[in-house]
Amino acid sequence: MFETAFTPWASLAGGVLIGVASTLLMLFVGRVMGATGVLAGMFQPSSGSDFAWRAALLAGMATGPAIVWLLSGEMPAVDVPISAIALVIGGLVVGVGVTFGSGCTSGHGVCGMARLSPRSIVATLTFMAFTFATVFIIRHVIGA
């Protein structure tokens, strides 16, 4: 049987932080916060200020575990119960999906749905449907 780590308080805190960050980015920079778009823009920023906000946002994402460590004295636990090859394949599938879907789950799911974008609502429903199907197949059909 598979165990799911349900962390409601940590998840709520993370969701609030993502919501606040995306709201502040829209308010002060006028941009939608989609993680893959932010990262992709680092390679071809349109200006110095464009590079600066992208670098600050990515630095905040990367230093999150260090902040947890400073506040709690422990690094967050990371448990990846799949093989490295499965991670690579998953990353490639997500990359293809981001390309064809014109954005990622954070851009569509957090920002696009908050703006009631029909395209983002359909994209998020598609992400979720395929996520449910994938988990069901892996856990109950394949049994891995």
In a domain, 63, yes or no: yes
Question: Is the distance from CB of 18 to CB of 110 less than 8 angstroms?
Answer: yes
> What is the domain range of residue 20?
8-142
Separation CA 57–CA 42 (nearest Å): 11
Reported as a single tens digit per residue, the pLDDT across 106-124 is 788 888 888 899 999 998 9
Q: How many domains does the chain have?
A: 1
pTM, two decimals, is 0.71
In a domain, 2, yes or no: no
Exposure on the CB side of residue 92, measured as CA atoms within 13 A: 5
Give percent of the chain above pLDDT 90: 21
Residue 70, token pair as written in the block: 């400073």
Task: Report the pLDDT value the prediction gives residue 3, as an integer from 0 to 100.
Answer: 65
Q: What angle do CA 117, 55, 16 make, to 5 degrees?
A: 50
Exposure on the CB side of residue 121, measured as CA atoms within 13 A: 5
Question: Is the distance from CB of 120 to CB of 113 less than 8 angstroms?
Answer: yes
In a domain, 33, yes or no: yes
In a domain, 3, yes or no: no
